[in-house]
């Protein structure tokens, strides 16, 4: 993509309405625009990141055996009356009356609808286990939306729902999602820690929040220092293996939000305890027959007997994740995208547009990098180098490849790694080779 | 994907509520489920097709130089009051009041919002031309939703919006979309014909509906028989070439809806005239300054003078297309997916689950086909062959690869092409080779 034609409305000023760094940086980097309170349009740069996050989430759900479908945003109130949540939900539910005066709503979540789909089609334990997910826009009418996409009203969420014939099978479904979540966040370059969460009146140990560490995080967390060095992707078993040992290991290393952490009663010696800040980006939860019983989602068991299915739900805040990633990965100059979710892999900076040799080399690099499968943003604007460097740091692409007449006289271009600031001078061929490795 | 675990709730009975063939087949093939009047959940098979259609639309928009963003579903009524359409739109607009009693709505289209985004950031003719598109769910509160996804209330649409400094540039933007649309539908295996549409009070010749031919189409159309043999993909110029000659050629071959066709006044001799039926799947429209003037979307022209921008909008009914494709491509046994949008490329049918050699060969084919990049649906269910054949024909995958003990004794498997019914017996290796070509 050529920056001269790319719709990237970066801002020089820091928007005063933004209270947290991710919100400020997303506005300044031209990634989003607020269209109403807590509702955002995703401009091309933001949209690219959103799609990359979504795709990683999807790949891990698929790998775990969950099947993607897509439920609509607008739901009938009838289903929510069946489960008993219609009145409970309060003002956060966006209630709508259609032209025929039917009560509808913009879905804040989908337990009821997926249970309805399930009960319409699944009649036997032989069709289980089943895990269905979708990635769809939700709406929660927050009284005071804030913090940009971290707490918006219209937000993109992945929600999966598992159906099992008994508690043992449900535990296994839960463990698959537990693993998928750890893998998902690790692939995005995040340190995500599962923390025991309340299960409400149902009880049990199958409820975890996934919290990623970020200095500017919304809540305090405590964990054993082993969490900081664990390599999830290295240690992860395959989804078809017995996941109990992995689950046992990862749930036994101490981690707790400050609400749950009891300093006088912590099993970790102070020297091994890390105090940090974090952001919740996912929640997995087994809720047994909470919906299947009132909604009559019953299958025939092995003996023909009717069995209300065991269910769980598994959410990831996809749009929220974008804010969380920025909170976890930025500096004073802007965003530092982890490679896996960066909107482009490389920013190619032409220091002197109009200089024949500089233009020629940039053009060559632009084509060759793309031929090697890289996403390249080519800054071919007629702007001062200072403006270009500032914009590149702001939008935070992992690599910056800087080409100018002075370097070319010596046969070199400059390659900068955004995360470390490390720069090296290389020949054009070496730069190509390094970036395509 | 193994059919034994795939969530594919096919129906044996024809649903009585479905009036048209695509609706019947989508319900029978387990692709969709109605969740409220005119609102559907896309089950895994339907969702796969939706994603494939969406991706082809996206690729052609990108190739034409349009840039993807994503606007939210919920909009503020304020913008629509600015353009004057809030009161005009009538009951098809789903109007919503949020918890703070603000007037909101579920967007039926996005001219106002994109114009607002444009005017916030684009100040100079140097930033033009610009074409921004998104693929997002829309809502139109149809008084009588029917025909399944062909006329639903919540529907997926691609809408693009072009911004140009003058009419000549706007014409070029229009021609790019004209070409992109012809390419898009041709890639899906459809015969799409652009037909001059009303431009309303604005006038001019820059408004076309794209209608695909389908025997069961909703409206009558007349066209020159040359349309039936034209190969758009073969004849299409590149998007950066001068598109005027292509545009002139494709707009000069006669085509008209029956509303516009005047039998006594038709330039085509009767022997060259084809009478057919069609379905509208896209509409492109230049509307000049209709929104830019009232909404003050003005840029500085070359001499610094304020110029209201010339705009156009370009829509494709993505979810509607799925119904339209089925209307255009089915037989008495079920759907016949064009290769490019098929949910899987191959259905692999195991005629005798439990027979060691049959299982082994199926397993081998399943892995090798996928290793070759094919999407495979493997029918490993313990069902009678008749059930398996009927389901395969119903869901309409382009190829069926049938493996049974009898064939294997002779060293062959059977490959069937769904569209022609043609069957051939081949060795396992030849079948692999043929499918991977």
Q: A13 falls in which pLDDT band (50, 70, 90)? A: confident
Q: Which of A39, A50, A117 sits opposite B74 (nearest CB)?
A: A39
Q: Does B116 touch chain A (CB under 8 A)?
A: yes
Per-residue pLDDT averaged across B9-34, rounded? 93
For A41, name the nearest residue in chain B, comparing CA atoms only. B71
User: pLDDT higher for A88 or B346?
Assistant: B346
**pLDDT for residue B49:** 98
CATH topology of domain B21-335: BirA Bifunctional Protein; domain 2 (3.30.930)
Residue A345: DSSP 8-state: S
| A202 pLDDT above the threshold of 60 | no
Provide the ipTM: 0.96
At B216 the pLDDT is 84
Domain residue extents for chain A: 21-335, 344-436
Say how far apart CA A289 and CA A198 lie, in whole Å.
17
With cut-offs at 50, 70 and 90, classify the pLDDT of residue A404. very high
- Which chain A residues have a beta carbon less than 8 Å from that of B73? 73, 106, 137, 154
pLDDT tens column, A289-347: 999 999 999 999 999 999 999 999 999 999 999 999 999 999 999 999 999 999 999 99
CB of A106 less than 8 A from some CB of B: yes
B43/A69 CB distance under 8 A? yes
Q: Is A126 on the interface with B (CB under 8 A)?
A: no
DSSP letters, B259-325, are: TT--GGG-SS-GGGEEEEEEEEEEEEEEEETTTTTTTT-EEE-TTS-EEEPEEEEEEEEHHHHHHHH
Predicted confidence at residue B103, as pLDDT, reads 97
3-state helix vs strand vs coil in chain A, percent to 5: 35, 30, 35
- C-alpha B378/C-alpha B401 separation (Å) is 9
How many angstroms separate the CA of residue A419 from the nearest CA in chain B? 27
- Contact between chains at A153 and B74 (C-beta distance less than 8 A): yes
Q: Do A104 and B36 touch (CB under 8 A)?
A: yes
Inspect the interface and report whether the beta carbons of A72 and B154 lie closer than 8 Å. Answer: yes
Q: Number of helices (H) and strands (E) in chain A: give both, helices first.
A: 14, 23
Question: A194 pLDDT band (50/70/90 cuts)?
Answer: very high
Q: pLDDT digit string (tens) for B124-168?
A: 999 999 999 999 999 999 999 989 999 999 999 999 999 999 999
For residue A201, pLDDT beyond 70:
no
Contact residues, chain A, for B76 at CB < 8 Å: 35-36
CB contact set of A139 (below 8 Å; sequence gap of 6+): A73, A94, A106, A107, A108, A153, A154, A155, B74
- CB within 8 Å: B73 and A73: yes
Q: Which of A44, A141, A153 sits opposite B68 (nearest CB)?
A: A44
Of A41, A113, A121, the CB nearest to B117: A41
CB A274 within 8 A of CB A223: yes
**Average pLDDT along chain A:** 95
**Helix ranges (DSSP H) in A125-261:** 167-187, 226-229, 232-235, 244-252
Residues of A in contact with B117 (CB under 8 A): 33, 35, 41, 43
Q: Provide mean pLDDT across the span A182-211.
A: 86
Taking CA–CA distances from A3, the nearest residue in chain B reads B127
Any idea which of A15-24, A51-60, B54-63, B406-415 has the lowest mean pLDDT? A15-24
Closest Cα partner for B163 from B124, B136, B205? B124
Q: What is the pLDDT of residues B177-213, one digit of tens each?
A: 999 999 999 999 999 999 988 766 555 678 999 999 9
B385 touches chain A (CB under 8 A): no
Task: Tell me which chain A residues have a C-beta less than 8 angstroms from the C-beta of B47.
Answer: 68-70
- Band of pLDDT at residue A204, cut at 50, 70 and 90: low
Nearest residue on chain A to B129, alpha-carbon basis:
A5
Q: What is the pLDDT of residues B345-398, one digit of tens each?
A: 999 999 999 999 999 999 999 999 999 999 999 999 999 999 999 999 999 999
pLDDT band at A14 (very low <50, low <70, confident <90, very high): confident
For A47, the closest of B6, B68, B106 (CB atoms) is B68
Please state, in angstroms and rounded to a whole number, the distance separating the CA atoms of residues B385 and A351: 67
Nearest alpha carbon to residue B158 among B50, B316, B312, B51: B316
Task: Report residue B17's pLDDT band, with 50, 70 and 90 as the boundaries.
Answer: confident
C-beta atoms of B73 and A154 within 8 A = yes
pLDDT beyond 80 at A199: no
Taking an 8 Å cut-off on Cβ atoms, the answer to whether A67 and B116 are in contact is: no
Least confident of A152-156, B88-92, B171-175: B88-92
Query: Is pLDDT above 70 for A63?
Result: yes
Model confidence at B413: pLDDT above 60: yes
Cβ of B72 and A137 within 8 Å? yes
With a cut of 60, say whether residue B108 has pLDDT above it. Answer: yes
* pLDDT value for B325: 97
Residue B436 pLDDT > 80: yes
Q: How confident is the model at residue A57 (pLDDT cuts 50, 70, 90)?
A: very high
Long-range CB contact pairs, B267-275, < 8 A, 24+: B268/B222, B268/B224, B272/B224, B272/B225, B272/B226, B273/B222, B273/B223, B273/B224, B273/B225, B274/B222, B274/B223, B274/B224, B274/B225, B274/B227, B274/B228, B275/B220, B275/B221, B275/B222
**Chain B positions in Cβ-Cβ contact with residue A99 (cut-off 8 Å):** 91-92, 141, 143
Residues of chain A found within 8 Å of residue B67, distances taken between Cβ atoms: 6-7, 44
Nearest CA in chain B to A46: B69
Q: What is the pLDDT of residue B201?
A: 59
pLDDT classification of A203: cutoffs 50, 70, 90: low
pLDDT digits (tens, 9 = 90+) for A234-285: 989 999 999 999 999 999 999 998 888 988 889 999 999 999 999 999 999 9
Q: Does domain B344-436 have CATH number 3.60.10.10?
A: no
Chain B positions touching A132 (Cβ under 8 A) are 7, 44
Q: What's the CA angle centered on B32, arms B422 and B351, to 5 degrees? A: 40
B-facing residues of A in 12-41 (CB < 8 A) are: 30, 33, 35-37, 39-41
Rounded to 5 degrees, φ, ψ at B53 are -60, -50
B157 Cβ under 8 Å from any chain A Cβ:
no
Return the pLDDT at A259: 87
**What is the distance of C-alpha A107 from the center of its chain?**
20
pLDDT value for B149: 94
Closest CA to A29 of A6, A45, A10: A10
Task: Please compute the mean of the pLDDT values over residues A356-379 and round it to a whole number.
Answer: 97
Q: Is the pLDDT score of A409 beyond 80?
A: yes
Q: What is the pLDDT of residue A15?
A: 85
């Amino acid at each position: 993509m050529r920056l001269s034609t790319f719709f990237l409305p970066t801002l020089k000023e820091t928007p005063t309405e933004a209270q947290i760094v991710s919100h400020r940086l997303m506005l300044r980097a031209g990634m989003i625009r607020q269209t109403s309170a807590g509702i955002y349009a995703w401009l091309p740069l933001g949209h690219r990141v959103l799609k990359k996050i979504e795709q990683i989430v999807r790949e891990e759900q698929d790998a775990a055996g969950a099947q993607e479908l897509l439920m609509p945003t607008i739901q009938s109130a009838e289903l929510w009356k069946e489960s008993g949540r219609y009145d409970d939900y309060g003002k956060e539910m966006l209630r709508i009356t259609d032209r025929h005066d039917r009560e509808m709503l913009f879905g804040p979540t989908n337990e009821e609808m997926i249970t309805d789909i399930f009960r319409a089609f699944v009649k036997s334990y032989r069709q289980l286990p089943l895990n269905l997910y979708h990635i769809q826009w939700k709406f929660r009418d927050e009284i005071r939306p804030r913090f940009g996409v971290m707490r918006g009203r219209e937000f993109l969420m992945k929600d999966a729902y598992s159906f099992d014939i008994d508690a043992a099978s449900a535990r296994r479904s839960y463990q698959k999602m537990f693993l998928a979540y750890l893998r998902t966040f690790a692939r995005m370059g995040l340190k995500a820690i599962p923390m025991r969460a309340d299960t409400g009146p149902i009880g049990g140990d199958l409820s975890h929040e996934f919290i990623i560490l970020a200095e500017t995080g919304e809540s305090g967390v405590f964990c054993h220092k082993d969490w900081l060095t664990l390599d999830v992707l290295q240690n992860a078993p395959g989804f078809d293996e017995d996941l109990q040992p992995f689950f046992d290991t990862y749930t036994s290393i101490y981690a707790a939000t400050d609400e749950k952490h009891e300093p006088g009663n912590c099993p970790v010696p102070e020297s091994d305890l890390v105090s940090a800040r974090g952001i919740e980006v996912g929640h997995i939860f087994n809720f047994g027959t909470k919906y299947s019983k009132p909604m009559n989602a019953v299958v025939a068991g092995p003996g023909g007997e009717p069995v209300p299915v065991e269910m769980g739900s598994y959410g990831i805040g996809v749009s929220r994740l974008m804010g969380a990633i920025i909170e976890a990965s930025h500096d004073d100059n802007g965003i530092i995208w982890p490679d896996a979710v960066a909107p482009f892999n490389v920013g190619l900076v032409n220091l002197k547009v109009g200089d024949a040799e500089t233009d020629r080399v940039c053009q060559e690099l632009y084509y060759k990098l793309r031929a090697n499968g890289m996403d390249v943003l080519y800054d071919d604007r007629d702007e001062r180098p200072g403006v270009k460097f500032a914009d590149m740091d702001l939008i935070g692409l992992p690599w910056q490849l800087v080409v100018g007449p002075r370097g070319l006289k010596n046969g070199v271009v400059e390659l900068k790694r955004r995360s470390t600031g490390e720069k090296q001078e290389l020949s054009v061929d070496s730069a190509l080779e390094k970036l395509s490795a």
